[in-house]
Amino acid sequence: MARDPGRVLIFDTTLRDGEQSPGASLNLEEKLAIAQQLARLGVDIIEAGFPFASPGDFNAVQRIAATVGTPDGPVICGLARAAAGDIRACADAVGPAANKRIHTFIATSDIHLEHKLRKSRAEVLQIAAEMVAYARSLVNDVEFSCEDAGRSDPDFMYQVIEAAIGAGATTVNIPDTVGYATPAEFGELIAGINAHVPNIDQAVISVHGHNDLGLAVANFLEAVKNGARQLECTINGIGERAGNASLEELVMALHVRRSYYNPFLGRPADSSEPLTGVRTEEITKTSRLVSNLTGMVVQPNKAIVGANAFAHESGIHQDGVLKNRLTYEIIDARTVGLADNRISLGKLSGRSAFRARLEELGYQLERDDLDDAFARFKELADRKREISDRDLEAIVSEQVQQSDGACFSLRSVQVSCGTGLQPTATITLAGADGAELTEAAIGTGPVDAVCQALNRLAQVPNELVEFSVKSVTEGIDAMGEVTIRLRAGGVLYSGHAADTDIVVASAQAFVNALNRLIAGGRSQALHPQKGPLPVLGDMPLAERPRV
């Protein structure tokens, strides 16, 4: 791949770095649904996960590679530390994809070399070259990252980048790992690489950054002006700590301000050619899918995809918009796929229409899951006159959270509460063997009583750290979406559910969180951002590397 692909490549890491958001872990079916929608969105590269982390991560990356990695689809990428075991596992996982990439990394800052890697500069330089060469022997597309580039000595980093490209790296990634850079500094960093790395014309410059100071998007746009041609970002800006650069904000900034950015890509200012390959009309749909499956609510004032992004409260603004939308809107809401929900399904709708609409929304369910989701749809249609796309998303996002290996399934919920009464809940759960157990508990309210009864049944120590409920749509018959996060062993586990009865939704969300907690306790997953890492060959890598 040439240094300048002629446009800005969008590298989506929602399924890798985005999943590192506390409590945002996804199961296989959820990851696959998101990957399929990312392909519809038109991203260039999907970083599907960290294959060496666990068998679950490996299987998810491999399944995505086989399903989404078609010849005309996105590049499927896996993350690997600069270690032979990681790189081999990554190659095997992305192998089924027609277009595949290995993304390997090692730290280049002195603070990481001294305190984490305990390696000299010479050793890191050698490891980078050797591991990139090994990765290149397995695939033709290799990305190399200088972890903590923003705090690295530029002259040493130039040497490492030159060596990585010489060993076969086709993309070099410059991460602002701790979210510390300002736009001017980050732009100068990219400009310095362009000026001082002799073979930089043989690779694409990529950037990755975190939003700790709220500057990630601004930093990336400045990087584009200085020669970066790949942006690593996530849907809704999710990710560890304050998150990553937001895909929708980057894409729409380049879309709306195309005449400003065109000259930096060598185009006439008035060129109408898109700067990215993203289908902007899929942005809202993708945002909702990721929000539903992760349980991470998008803040109302979030740019591009927030509920208030195209709302006008001020009378002056309302008057102007009614006369001409351009008075107070710089984006046509239809450009990002925001339109009134189409009421196309009801209680008389059949399975084929239901499945077709789900596929339009980005979901492809296996037969059993489709049967269960269709049953939920019919049940809801009997209680709710109008079924919107948001209702369908809520139904299916809960359905894909269910896993075949779930320890518990909810059988029944009964609550008693009211003025002068002690809130009481009676819960029946079925175990993995089908045996049913029933427990009752008293709480400060019906949801508290439900949670106490579930904890007595499950007998799994945990701490409830978040409970949130929101309406899916307007109206008295709207479904309520509940997100619950449990903490156990210092790790957060999320559960998400929706129902017209928010107490039932709360119970199901709690059960989903419990199942994830139990599954997480069974698997000792290795993760690049969680826990100590083992010694791989003669390359000990300390805990918590952050690309």
Q: pTM of the predicted model, to two decimals?
A: 0.81
37 close to 286: Cβ distance less than 8 angstroms:
yes
Looking at the structure of the chain, the number of domains it has is 2
User: Does residue 438 lie in a domain region?
Assistant: yes
Q: Looking at the structure, do residues 265 and 414 belong to the same domain, yes or no?
A: no
| DSSP characters over 466-490 | EEEEEESSSSTT--EEEEEEEEETT
Give the residue with greater pLDDT, 522 vs 396: 396
Q: Left, alpha or beta for 41 (phi > 0: left; psi -120 to 50: alpha)? A: alpha
pLDDT at 449: 96
- pLDDT tier, 403 (very low <50, low <70, confident <90, very high otherwise): low
User: Does residue 495 lie in a domain region?
Assistant: yes
CA-wise closest residue to 500 among 516, 476, 484: 476
For residue 465, pLDDT over 80 is answered with yes
Write out pLDDT tens, residues 330-381: 788 888 887 654 445 777 778 888 888 887 776 777 777 788 888 888 888 8
Give the residue with greater pLDDT, 484 vs 261: 261
pLDDT at 145: 97
CA gap 7, 2 in Å, rounded: 11
65 close to 96: Cβ distance less than 8 angstroms:
yes
CA-wise closest residue to 219 among 265, 276, 176: 176
- Of these ranges, 19-28, 208-217, 378-387, 430-439, the one predicted with the greatest mean pLDDT is 208-217
**At which of 294, 309, 341 does a domain end?**
294
191 close to 157: Cβ distance less than 8 angstroms:
no
Tokens 């709480």, residue?
A: 443
- pLDDT tier, 547 (very low <50, low <70, confident <90, very high otherwise): low
Q: 3-state DSSP call for residue 423?
A: coil
CA gap 519, 526 in Å, rounded: 14
User: Does residue 443 lie in a domain region?
Assistant: yes
**At which of 260, 294, 328 does a domain end?**
294
User: Does residue 360 lie in a domain region?
Assistant: no
Tokens 């993309």, residue?
A: 171
Average pLDDT over every residue of 24-29: 81
User: Does residue 86 lie in a domain region?
Assistant: yes
- pLDDT tier, 400 (very low <50, low <70, confident <90, very high otherwise): low
Residues of the chain above pLDDT 90, percent: 59
Average pLDDT over every residue of 121-139: 97
pLDDT at 528: 52
CA-wise closest residue to 235 among 309, 286, 280, 188: 286
Q: Looking at the structure, do residues 16 and 142 belong to the same domain, yes or no?
A: yes
User: Does residue 90 lie in a domain region?
Assistant: yes
Tokens of 158: 């130039």
**At which of 252, 274, 294 does a domain end?**
294
Give the residue with greater pLDDT, 128 vs 339: 128
Residues of the chain above pLDDT 70, percent: 87
pLDDT at 531: 35
User: Does residue 67 lie in a domain region?
Assistant: yes
pLDDT at 344: 55
Lowest mean pLDDT among 115-124, 314-323, 483-492: 314-323
Domain that holds residue 180: 9-294
Lowest mean pLDDT among 52-56, 88-92, 391-395, 535-539: 535-539
- pLDDT tier, 184 (very low <50, low <70, confident <90, very high otherwise): very high
CATH code: domain of residue 267 = 3.20.20.70
Write out pLDDT tens, residues 489-540: 888 888 888 888 999 999 999 998 998 888 876 554 444 533 333 333 333 3
| Residue 387 β-bridge partners | 345
Write out pLDDT tens, residues 200-240: 999 999 999 999 999 999 999 999 999 999 999 999 999 98
For residue 112, pLDDT over 60 is answered with yes
**Beta-sheet strands, E only, within 66-203:** 75-81, 100-107, 142-147, 171-176
Q: Looking at the structure, do residues 152 and 284 belong to the same domain, yes or no?
A: yes
Average pLDDT over every residue of 147-168: 95
- Of these ranges, 300-309, 316-325, 342-351, the one predicted with the greatest mean pLDDT is 300-309
Q: 3-state DSSP call for residue 411?
A: strand
User: Does residue 358 lie in a domain region?
Assistant: no
CATH code: domain of residue 451 = 3.30.160.270
Average pLDDT over every residue of 147-160: 94
Lowest mean pLDDT among 12-21, 275-284, 467-476: 467-476
